[in-house]
């Protein structure tokens, strides 16, 4: 009978994400990950064939975490009645997630990340909690297009915020609220 593992894959992924957030993509080794979870490096390679595979798993975990945050931002029963408010709450949750995981957020959009079917499914699942609000706002036929209008604003805004690119002063929170609300209210006009 094989020995019981000293740690789970989820613990390894969590430790990798913690190191990733502290040290950046290239700032840590597989040995550091193994040490962080109390195993030997060869044991880590027995579970993940290389660093790239482990980072792919971290990215999937991040997309899952984003999905949870977006789903938790609104009550499902309120989405159809108040889609503008629901999307505003989800936009705030998206921003908060990115700010809480700045290096992880960068990994989620890193062009070096594998373009796997699992990654595509994870991205779709992460944004699924927003779909009912978009449908309620603009209808089935326009929901995907509406999401494709709001998402680049969110990504661009938080990417600039994370790199401290807003250097002209002013209230960044206010700018975020104005931008998101303007886009969502503009999208609502498509339905009429």
Residue 2: the pLDDT is 53
pLDDT of residue 116: 76
**Pair 15, 35: CB distance under 8 Å:** no
As to burial, measured by CB atoms within 10 angstroms (0-12 exposed, 13-18 middle, 19+ buried), residue 77 is: exposed
Query: SS3 helix, strand, coil % of the chain, rounded to 5?
Result: 75, 0, 25
> Helical H runs in 101-168?
102-108, 117-127, 131-138, 140-162
Instruction: Please give the pLDDT value at position 119.
Output: 81
Residue 136 DSSP SS3: helix
pLDDT for the residue numbered 1: 46
Nearest to 34 by CA among 46, 52, 21, 23: 46
**In Å, how far are 46, 149, 153 from 185, measured between CA atoms?**
51, 12, 14
At residue 192, the pLDDT reads 53
> For the chain, where do the domains classified as CATH 1.10.10.60 start and end?
1-49
Chosen CATH of 61-191 out of 1.10.357.10, 3.30.70.890, 3.20.20.140, 3.40.630.30: 1.10.357.10
CB of 88 closer than 8 Å to CB of 49: no
Could you tell me where in the chain the CATH 1.10.357.10 domains are found? Answer: 61-191
Return averaged pLDDT per consecutive 10 residues of the chain, 192 residues in all: 70 94 88 93 91 90 95 81 93 97 91 77 90 94 94 96 91 96 93 62
Q: Is 1.10.10.60 the CATH classification of the domain at 1-49?
A: yes
Q: What is the pLDDT of residue 7?
A: 87
């Amino acid at each position: 009978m094989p020995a019981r593992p000293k740690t789970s894959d989820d613990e390894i992924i969590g430790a990798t994400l913690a190191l990733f957030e502290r040290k950046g993509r290239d700032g840590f080794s597989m040995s550091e990950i193994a040490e962080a979870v109390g195993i030997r490096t060869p044991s880590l390679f027995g579970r993940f064939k290389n660093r790239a595979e482990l980072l792919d798993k971290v990215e999937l975990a991040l997309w899952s975490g984003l999905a949870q945050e977006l789903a938790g931002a609104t009550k499902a029963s309120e989405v159809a009645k108040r889609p503008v408010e629901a999307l505003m709450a989800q936009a705030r949750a998206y921003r908060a997630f990115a700010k809480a995981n700045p290096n992880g957020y960068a990994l989620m959009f890193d062009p070096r990340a594998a373009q796997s079917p699992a990654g595509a499914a994870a991205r779709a699942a992460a944004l699924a909690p927003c779909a009912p609000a978009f449908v309620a706002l603009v209808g089935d036929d326009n929901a995907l297009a509406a999401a494709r209008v709001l998402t680049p604003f969110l990504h661009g805004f938080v990417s600039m915020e994370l790199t401290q690119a807003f250097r002209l002063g002013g209230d960044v929170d206010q700018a975020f609220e104005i931008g998101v609300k303007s886009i969502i209210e503009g999208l609502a006009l498509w339905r009429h």
